[in-house]
Amino acid sequence: MHTSHQLSLLAIAAVIFFGSAELASAEAAKPAESIPAEAEKDEAKKKPVRGKKPARRGDPNREGAAERKKPSVGKKPSAEEGTQEKVTAKSKDEKEEFATHKVEAKPFKITTKLSGIIESKQQTPVAMDLDRWSELSVVSALPHGTEVKKGDLLFQLDTRALEKKIRELEVGMPLKELDLETAKQELEKMEQTTPLKLEQTRLAMQHAEEDLEYFFDVTKPMRERSAKEDLKSTQNYLSYAEEELRQLKKMYAEDDMTEETEEIILQRQQNSVDSYKWMLEQTKARTDRTLKTYIPREEVSLKRNHELKEIDFARSEKATKDSLVRKKLDVEAKIRDFDESELALKEYQYDLKQMAPRAAHDGVVYYGMNQRGKWTTASTVERKMIPGGKISMNEVVVTLVDPSDLHLRVAVPENRLKGLRKGLDGTLKLEWNPDVELDGKVESVSWVPYADNTYDAVVAIGNESGARVVPGMKANIEVVIYDNEKTLTVPKNAIEKKGKVSMVTMKDGEKRRIRTGHSNGSMIQVVEGLEAGDEIRSGPAKKEEPTEDKAEEKPEEKSDDKAGDKK
């Protein structure tokens, strides 16, 4: 009895199982778009409304729903329900769904958006590059943005102190020129007389040397001998006189009588003897003086004179040569001073002409300096371009720009360099009027980075519409890197990379090798390997989960649990 009943139940369960499996397979095969609109509306009604307060405790609807959601404690699932769940899970695992992409030939374009600043192709910076003058005080200046013609005065600097300096130099130049000529004449005279003076000093030294040699060779021996001979001669004369007196006395003594004549003769002879004695005494003294005093003194004098002449010659030779060199240096210094004054006068006169700069061409006055399209010093210069304002040497205070010939200068970030090259076209829009589109063409791209790690690019502007464009305006340009009116593309996430090989998975699971081309980030061009109409897998299909129902149920369960705890 029980066995028959059990067999009946098993047969019923098998019928239910196979029916449920077929139903689940049919539902899984249906596309997501086949859900009727009424079902979507019903699902929308089930979604919780934001801001709606939960039902209060004791609400019969809320409590009934909670009771329905609570699982039966101790109740086991039936065999039919367990079997049905297992079959459904197995069917889902065996048949995994993938999103597909149909390959089609469509237009494919790659662009990059860049920002830049309008600047003039012809811009002339004006800075005070003077030769000598440095006091730069503004008297008057044209306002920023003034339109000028070639030759118009841009600004005027104070020239009063400079004009005074020029007058002083003009007055002092003749005196310096006369002083220089006098120095040149003195130098010429010194160059002629210096050799003569040196020769004269040399001769004086030579004469002193010769006098000293002659003194030792002739004068000294002769004077010594002369003194001795004088003494000897005087002694002889005395001896002769004494002998003659002695003979006279002897002769007269033999006569035994003395006559008056004899006495006179004897007295005269005695006087001669006395005179010779005195002469001998004088000669002795004179000879002694000569030998011991005069001759040694003359010798010393001659020696000293010779030494002095040698010293004079040595010193005179050096001093004369030094004087000549000093005079030459003095003349050279005067020449340099004169040349410097003459050059200073010319440079000051040139600087005076530069104190009133004029426009080199037609254009518009911009204050400051243009650096890559930006007027970086405009605000600083504007505060100086007033009466009494001080500007610096070589400071660009004014830039004269030609507004009729413009281009766009772009600071290109490194991540936008790919594909950017000369000759690419683009569409340019001004920030002040984005409704107007202008044609642009890349003229140049620099591959040398600046300090901010950007690269310089210049874009030519075609302004056929006559839109108002002036230097300093900001503009955006969309450059077309690549444009193909009809080419095959696939999503980037559908491509598998294996080394240098690119692969895609066809809808039926076949792996196919392809060759790619350009990419815009999300789509990649396919050059070879696919044809229009092919379907490829682009990734797993997205599954919708009833997150709203779960979110709606969780707070209710928690509230019910809290209510049960309170109870």
3-state secondary structure 45-62: HHCCCCCCCCCCCCCHHH
Which one of 21-30, 33-42, 228-237 scores highest in mean pLDDT?
228-237
pLDDT tens digits for range 159-190: 999 999 999 999 999 999 999 999 999 999 88
Please say if the pLDDT value at position 438 is more than 70: yes
Q: What pLDDT score does 256 carry?
A: 57
Half-sphere exposure of 393 (CA within 13 A, CB side): 8
Instruction: Please give the pLDDT value at position 44.
Output: 42
According to DSSP, the β-strands at 496-498 and 501-505 are: antiparallel
Question: Rounded mean pLDDT of 236-253?
Answer: 84
CATH H superfamily, domain 108-155+361-484: Efflux pump adaptor protein, beta barrel domain (2.40.30.170)
Q: Look at residue 225 in the predicted model and tell me its pLDDT.
A: 86
**93-107, 125-139, 384-398 — which is least confidently predicted?**
93-107
Spatial neighbors of 423 by CB under 8 A, at least 6 apart, are 441, 442
Average pLDDT over every residue of 299-310: 87
Q: Does 220 have pLDDT greater than 60?
A: yes
The Cα–Cα gap between 282 and 173 comes to 79
Asked which of 28-32, 346-350, 515-519 is least confident by mean pLDDT, the reply is 28-32
pLDDT at 549 over 70: no
Show Cβ contacts of residue 125 under 8 Å, excluding neighbours closer than 6 positions: 369, 370, 396, 398, 399
The overall average pLDDT reported for the chain is: 80
Q: Give pLDDT, residue 280.
A: 85
Dihedrals phi, psi of 126, to nearest 5 degrees: -115, 115
pLDDT over threshold 50, residue 566: no
Token readout for 73 is: 């404690």
Q: What does the radius of gyration of the chain's CA atoms come to, in whole angstroms?
A: 66
Position 540 pLDDT exceeds 80: no
Q: Residue 467 pLDDT > 90, yes or no?
A: no
User: Cα(327)–Cα(321) distance, rounded to whole angstroms?
Assistant: 10
Handedness of CA 305, 311, 314, 316 (dihedral sign): negative
**pLDDT at 554 (0 to 100):** 40
How far apart CA 366 and CA 473 sit, in angstroms, is 13
How sure is the predictor about 10, in pLDDT bands with cuts at 50, 70 and 90?
low
pLDDT digits (tens, 9 = 90+) for 74-127: 444 444 444 444 444 444 444 556 788 989 999 999 999 999 999 999 999 999
Q: Which two tokens stand for residue 256?
A: 């035994």
Tokens 């329900």 locate to: 81
Euclidean distance between CA atoms 32 and 316, whole angstroms: 125
- By DSSP bridging, strand 98-102 and strand 535-540 are antiparallel
Helix (H) or strand (E) segment spanning residue 392: none
Domain spans of the chain, in order of start: 2-97+545-566, 108-155+361-484, 160-354
Query: What is the average per-residue pLDDT within 505-528?
Result: 90
Q: Is 377 helix (H, G, I), strand (E, B) or coil?
A: coil
pLDDT at 47 over 80: no
In the predicted structure, residue 557 carries a pLDDT above the cut 70:
no
Q: pLDDT-derived band of residue 235, with 50, 70 and 90 as boundaries? A: confident
| Average pLDDT estimate for 2-14 | 54
Residue 311 banded pLDDT, cuts 50, 70, 90? confident
Alpha-helical segments (H) within 215-259: 220-254
pLDDT recorded at residue 22: 52
Percent of the residues in the chain that have a pLDDT greater than 70, as a whole number: 77
Q: Which residues of 385-406 are buried (b: 16+ CB within 10 A; e: fewer)?
A: beeebebeeebbbbbbbbbeeb
Non-local CB neighbours of 70 within 8 Å, separated by 6+ positions: 560
Sign of CA dihedral 164, 165, 170, 174: positive
pLDDT at 17: 56
pLDDT exceeds cutoff 70 at 416: yes
Read off the pLDDT band of 18 (50, 70, 90). Answer: low
Q: At residue 314, does pLDDT exceed 90?
A: no
Identity of the amino acid at 4: S
447, two tokens = 């591959």
User: What share of the chain has pLDDT > 90, as a percent?
Assistant: 42
Looking at residues 405-433, what average pLDDT do you find? 93
The token duo for 87 is: 């079959």
pLDDT of res. 9? 59
Q: What is the pLDDT of residue 185?
A: 93
Residue 416 token pair: 């936008």
Per-residue pLDDT band for 19 (boundaries 50, 70, 90) equals low
**What pLDDT score was predicted for residue 216?**
86
Query: Can you read off the two tokens belonging to residue 427?
Result: 């569409």
What pLDDT is recorded for position 26? 45
Q: Phi and psi of 95, rounded to 5°?
A: -120, 85
State the pLDDT at residue 159: 95
